[in-house]
Amino acid sequence: MKNIIIKDESATGKILNEIMIAVENELTTVKEIIEARVFAEVEAYNKKLPEYFNGLVQPTNAERTLNGFKLNNRRAIDGEKQTYIALDAFVKNGYFVLVDNVQVETLEQEILVGDDTSVSFVQLTPLVGG
């Protein structure tokens, strides 16, 4: 098990959010990193059901605010639906993933995770999911 800190960055490089995820192996794929990230965000939200969700994908029936996504009524979020939307958005260039400041190209691209591996998500368009 390896821990990675994921950073969300604006197009100008400003850090908007950070989350720590765990991946199974040192050699992992972009897809596995995205899945781990989305499931970690959804799990953390679903445990507490706070007023705002801070994640990669905007849940359905939520509005974007300065503090994150505010759900019209607090409810558990569907992690599988969020993951599907996130993977689809990556393929459609809805956001970029940088590993050690190099843009990754495909979901299947393998990444060797070390103690100092840096992973950043740069969002280009809002992603709406479940």
Domains plus CATH for the chain?
2-129 (3.10.20)
User: What is the residue-level pLDDT of the chain in tens, covering all 130 positions?
Assistant: 889 999 998 878 888 889 999 888 899 999 999 999 999 999 999 999 999 998 898 898 889 888 889 988 889 999 999 999 999 999 999 899 999 999 999 999 999 998 889 999 998 755 566 5
**Angle, in degrees to the nearest 10, between helices 30-48 and 79-91:** 140
- Specify burial of residue 122 (Cβ count, 10 A radius: 0-12, 13-18, 19+): middle
Q: State the burial class of residue 73 (Cβ atoms within 10 Å of its Cβ: 0-12, 13-18, 19+).
A: exposed
Strand 102-103 vs strand 95-99: parallel, antiparallel, or unpaired?
antiparallel
Model confidence, pTM: 0.90
**The one-letter amino acid at 102:** V
